[in-house]
Structure formats: C-alpha cells, structure tokens
Amino acid sequence: MRMRDLTRAVLAASCLSLSLAAVTWVPASAQGSAKGSEETMDVGDEPGRVSGDDVHAEGPYAKQMVLFRSSEAPGTVVIHTSERFLYIVQGNGKALRYGIGVGREGFQWSGKVQVSRKSEWPDWRPPPEMIARQPYLPRFMAGGPGNPMGARALYLGSTVFRVHGTNQPETIGQAISSGCFRLANGDIIDLYERVPVGTKVIIRHSASL
C-alpha cells in the first residue's frame, strides 16, 4: 500500500481522533511474519450472514483461564495483537483469555484507552474508506444476528475502534479487520458482562517481559 493511501485509510477509516500520546501504530516491519499469509488476508464483511457457531469451545482460541504475569489491577483488559488474544486480568498471576481477530497489516495499533460505551446488538455504519474498498457494503445496517458487528460492542475511548462480536467466527485468530478486535458472539456476550464502562484497556503488539 502506498504511503498516501495508508495515511488516508488510517486517518479516516480507522477514525483517528486517537490521542497520539496514548496510542501508536505498529509498523508493518515490526509485526513479524509468524502468521504468514494471515497478516495480509483481507476477508470481506458479509452483511446478512447468520452463523450458528457462536463460541469457540475447543482449540487454542477457546475461552480459558491461563497463567498471566501482569502488574495491572484485576479487571484490566490487555490485548496482545500478535498472539490474537484478549485477557482480563484476574490477579494471582492469572487471566481469563479469549481468542480474537485483529487488524490486518497496516491497521494494527497499540496504546492505552478506556471502555467509553457499551452496546447490545450495535448498528453498523461502514466509514467511506471501507465502502470504497468494498462498495457492495450497506451504508447502514441495524443491529441483529446478520450484522458484522455481532452481538455486543465495547467502544474504545474517543476512537471508533471497538471490541465487538462477529458473524464470521471462523476469522477468529486472523489479522483481517481495519483496526477493531472481534470475538465470537458467545465470547463477546460473556466479555460484555464482565467489563464495565471505564475499564482500562491496554493494546500491545506482544507480551512485554
């Protein structure tokens, strides 16, 4: 992607009323190649599709309690984009872990924000830049089972980035979005109940030692 195109996509499609003091973009050169072709995969949204697979019950992206070293307070949400995991810190060296889908190459970011709002079955308004890339998308879609935003959404700070559900649960574990983080609908419903407005959210490319 040319620098001019990348800049326009980052500033507009991904909403960058982001505070540059708190949030930074992860350069493609720093993202590594551990995931191979997944890093450049661009899976088109499928408005209207209804998936019956709402939870990852098995495999590496299934919700589970794991060992997790962190100095953050219990209840803090920590996202590791390179690992494709979201953690809720539990204290005592543990965290509840969920598998997620993350931003594709050129759309990943890091920083500290708070959950500013929550919504059940959120509406979807694709930004103009997304429509330019996928002109078949609707300009507005009411919330519901066929909405790509899924069952729940947690809005991150003053940005349009969200942690939300999806009607494409098979994309969990991949780098395919324009900067948002997606969970299977059953997982986002569970997360939604655990995370109140005001929760601190830390987005990192990978775990820090």
Look at residue 160 and tell me if it is in a domain: yes
Mean pLDDT for the chain overall = 78
Identify the band that residue 44 occupies on the pLDDT scale cut at 50, 70 and 90. Answer: low
Q: What is the pTM of this model?
A: 0.75
Identify the band that residue 24 occupies on the pLDDT scale cut at 50, 70 and 90. Answer: low
Look at residue 32 and tell me if it is in a domain: no
Look at residue 34 and tell me if it is in a domain: no
Look at residue 75 and tell me if it is in a domain: yes
We report the CATH number of the domain holding residue 198 as 2.40.440.10
Identify the band that residue 186 occupies on the pLDDT scale cut at 50, 70 and 90. Answer: very high
Instruction: Judge whether 60 and 54 are in contact, CB under 8 Å.
Output: no
Look at residue 36 and tell me if it is in a domain: no
Quote the pLDDT of residue 45: 57
pLDDT in tens, 122-166: 998 887 877 887 788 888 888 888 888 999 999 999 987 899 999
Residue type, 110: S
Look at residue 41 and tell me if it is in a domain: no
Quote the pLDDT of residue 137: 81
- Which residue is catalytic, options 15, 56, 80, 180? 180
Answer yes or no: 180 catalytic: yes
Q: Residue 37 pLDDT more than 80? A: no
Higher pLDDT, 33 or 132: 132
Residue type, 190: D
Domain encompassing residue 83: 3-25+46-204
Higher pLDDT, 145 or 102: 102
pLDDT in tens, 46-88: 544 455 557 666 789 999 999 999 999 999 999 999 999 999 9
User: If you write DSSP's letter for every residue of 5-62 in order, what string do you get?
Assistant: HHHHIIIIITT----TTTEEE--GGGS-STTGGGGG--PPP-TT---S-----SSTTS
Portion of the chain with pLDDT greater than 70, in percent: 72
Quote the pLDDT of residue 58: 76
Mean pLDDT of 12-31: 40
Quote the pLDDT of residue 63: 96
Half-sphere exposure of 158 (CA within 13 A, CB side): 7
β-bridge mates for residue 156, sequence order:
115
Look at residue 40 and tell me if it is in a domain: no
Quote the pLDDT of residue 177: 86
Look at residue 8 and tell me if it is in a domain: yes
Q: Report DSSP state, residue 101.
A: B
- For the stretch 196-199, contacts whose Cβ atoms lie closer than 8 Å and that sit 24 or more positions apart, written own/partner, are 196/115, 197/115, 197/116, 197/117, 197/118, 198/114, 198/115, 199/75, 199/76, 199/77, 199/114, 199/115
Instruction: Judge whether 187 and 85 are in contact, CB under 8 Å.
Output: no
Quote the pLDDT of residue 207: 72
Residue 53 zone, left/alpha/beta (φ > 0; ψ -120 to 50; rest): beta
- Which residue is catalytic, options 56, 80, 164, 205? 164
Number of domains present in the structure of the chain: 1
Q: Residue 15 pLDDT more than 80? A: no
